[in-house]
Structure 1
Amino acid sequence: MAGVRHATVTLAVLSLLLSGAGTAQATPADGPVPPGPVALDDPEFTANVMAPLKVTDWAAFEADLETVAAYGVDAVSVDVWWGDVEGAADNRFDWSYYDQVFEVITSKGLELAPILSFHQAGGNVGDDYTSLLPSWLWTKYADRTYRGVELGPTGLQHRSEQGNHSPESVQGWADRVVMNEYRDFTRAFERQYGDVYADEVVEVNVSLGPSGELRYPSYNQHDEGTGYPTRGALQAYSPLAVRDFQQQMLYRYGSLEAVNSAWGTDLGSADQIGPPADAEAFFTSRAYLDTQYGRDFVDWYNGSLVDHGERVLRTVIRALGRDFPEADIGYKVPGIHWQMTHPVHPRATEVTTGLIQTSVDLDSWATGHGYQRIVELANRFDRGPREVVMHFTALEMDDQPGPEAYSLAQTLVQWIGDYAFRAGVELKGENALAGGVGSDEGWDNINEAFETWGYLGLTVLRIGDVSSGTGARRYAEFIATYSPDI
Structure 2
Amino acid sequence: MACKCGGYYYTLNVKASFDRDLNKRRKFLLRNVSVIRMFTSGFFRSKWRSIAGKRRILRLKALTVSLKALKLAGVHGIGIEVWWGIVERFSPFDYDWSLYEELFKLVSDSGLKLHVALSFHSNIHSNNGKGALSLPLWILEIGDVNKDIYYRDQHGFSNNDYLTLGVDHIPLLSGRTALQCYEDFMLSFVNKFESFIGSVIEEISIGLGPSGELRYPAHPFGDGRWKFPGIGEFQCYDKMDDLKMAACREGKPQWGDKGPQNAGCYNSVPSGVPFFEEGKENFLSDYGRFFLEWYSGRLICHADAILAKAAKILKKYQEREQTSVMLVAKIGGIYWWYQTLSHPAELTAGYYNTALRDGYDPVVSVLSRHGAALHIP
| TM range, smaller chain | 0.7 to 0.9
The corresponding residue for 2:104 is 102
Q: Which protein, 1 or 2, shows the higher relative CO under an 8 Å CA cutoff with sep ≥ 6?
A: 1
Could you tell me how far apart the structure 2 residues matched to 1:245 and 1:138 are? Answer: 26
Percent of aligned positions that are identical: 24
- Write out aligned runs for 1:314-333 (5 A): 314-320=308-314, 322-323=316-317, 325=320, 326-333=324-331
Answer whether contact 2:260 2:275 (CA < 8 A) is retained. Answer: no
The corresponding residue for 1:12 is none
Q: For each residue in 1:429-455, what CA deviation from the matched residue of structure 2 results, as whole angstroms up to 9, or x when unmatched?
A: xxxxxxxxxxxxxxxxxxxxxxxxxxx
SS at match of 1:208: coil
The corresponding residue for 1:203 is 203
Deviation of residue 248 (structure 1)? 2.3
- Write out aligned runs for 1:76-475 (5 A): 76-124=78-126, 128-139=130-141, 153-176=146-169, 177-197=177-197, 199-221=199-221, 224-241=224-241, 244-251=242-249, 253=250, 256=251, 259=252, 269=253, 272-280=256-264, 281=273, 283=275, 285-286=277-278, 287-320=281-314, 322-323=316-317, 325=320, 326-341=324-339, 346-358=342-354, 361-362=356-357, 367=358, 370-381=359-370, 387-393=371-377
Q: For each residue in 1:301-345, what CA deviation from the matched residue of structure 2 results, as whole angstroms up to 9, or x when unmatched?
A: 111111111111112223345357511110111211112235xx7
Deviation of residue 139 (structure 1)? 4.5
Q: In terms of mean alpha carbon deviation, does 370-379 or 325-334 score higher?
A: 370-379
Could you tell me how far apart the structure 1 residues matched to 2:275 and 2:127 are? Answer: 26
Could you tell me how far apart the structure 2 residues matched to 1:49 and 1:190 are? Answer: 27
Could you tell me how far apart the structure 2 residues matched to 1:184 and 1:104 are? Answer: 26
Answer whether contact 1:215 1:305 (CA < 8 A) is retained. Answer: yes
Q: Which runs of 5+ in 1 are unaligned?
A: 1-8, 10-20, 28-34, 36-41, 143-151, 260-268, 382-386, 394-486
The corresponding residue for 2:24 is 24
Say if 1:114 and 1:336 are closer, same or farther in 2 by CA, change over 3 A: same
The structure richer in helix per residue is 1
Deviation of residue 225 (structure 1)? 3.7
Say if 1:240 and 1:43 are closer, same or farther in 2 by CA, change over 3 A: closer
What amino acid is the match of 1:99? Answer: E
Deviation of residue 108 (structure 1)? 1.2
Say if 1:352 and 1:22 are closer, same or farther in 2 by CA, change over 3 A: closer
Could you tell me how far apart the structure 2 residues matched to 1:291 and 1:187 are? Answer: 44
What amino acid is the match of 2:293? Answer: D
SS at match of 1:295: helix
Answer whether contact 1:166 1:222 (CA < 8 A) is retained. Answer: no
SS at match of 1:94: coil
SS at match of 2:115: strand
Answer whether contact 1:157 1:238 (CA < 8 A) is retained. Answer: yes
Answer whether contact 1:163 1:237 (CA < 8 A) is retained. Answer: yes
Could you tell me how far apart the structure 2 residues matched to 1:117 and 1:339 are? Answer: 28
Of structures 1 and 2, the larger Rg is shown by 1
Answer whether contact 1:356 1:374 (CA < 8 A) is retained. Answer: no
Say if 1:279 and 1:161 are closer, same or farther in 2 by CA, change over 3 A: farther
What amino acid is the match of 2:302? Answer: H
Answer whether contact 1:112 1:201 (CA < 8 A) is retained. Answer: yes
Say if 1:389 and 1:128 are closer, same or farther in 2 by CA, change over 3 A: farther
SS at match of 1:247: helix
Could you tell me how far apart the structure 1 residues matched to 2:132 and 2:156 are? Answer: 24
Q: In terms of mean alpha carbon deviation, does 125-134 or 331-340 score higher?
A: 125-134
Deviation of residue 48 (structure 1)? 5.0
Instruction: Give the superposed CA RMSD.
Output: 3.2
Could you tell me how far apart the structure 2 residues matched to 1:106 and 1:96 are? Answer: 15
Number of aligned pairs? 323
Say if 1:101 and 1:88 are closer, same or farther in 2 by CA, change over 3 A: same
Deviation of residue 190 (structure 1)? 1.2
Could you tell me how far apart the structure 1 residues matched to 2:304 and 2:276 are? Answer: 32
Match of 2:39 among 42, 47, 66: 47
Deviation of residue 376 (structure 1)? 2.4
Q: In terms of mean alpha carbon deviation, does 192-201 or 106-115 score higher?
A: 192-201
Could you tell me how far apart the structure 2 residues matched to 1:159 and 1:22 are? Answer: 36
Say if 1:274 and 1:103 are closer, same or farther in 2 by CA, change over 3 A: same
